[in-house]
Amino acid sequence: MKTLVDHLSQYANYHRDPRNIFTHFIGIPMIVLAVTILLSRPGWEIAGIWL
């Protein structure tokens, strides 16, 4: 069984990978934007009904 230190070192190595850094650089702002839009309760009026 791995120790906590083993798990943390594997986690640190994984997050230093350039591909992972790039995906976080793109993905995190997209998630923040999506949550912001959803919390603003966007809607459209279609045939007199607010959706």
| Number of domain units in the chain | 1
For residue 39, give the DSSP letter.
H
Structure tokens at 31: 């998630």
pTM above 0.85, yes or no: no
Are the CB atoms for 51 and 45 separated by under 8 Å?
yes
Q: Is 16 part of any domain?
A: yes
For residue 13, the enclosing domain spans: 1-29
- Does residue 42 have a pLDDT over 90? no
- Does residue 7 have a pLDDT over 90? yes
Helix (H) or strand (E) segment spanning residue 45: strand 45-46
Rounded-to-integer distance, Cα 5 and Cα 40, Å: 42
pLDDT in tens, 19-40: 999 999 999 999 999 999 999 9
Q: Is 24 part of any domain?
A: yes
**Mean per-residue pLDDT, 12-23:** 92
Q: Is 4 part of any domain?
A: yes
Residues 9, 11, 16, 17, Cα dihedral to 10°:
120
Q: Is 5 part of any domain?
A: yes
Q: Is 40 part of any domain?
A: no
Rounded-to-integer distance, Cα 14 and Cα 24, Å: 12
Q: Is 41 part of any domain?
A: no
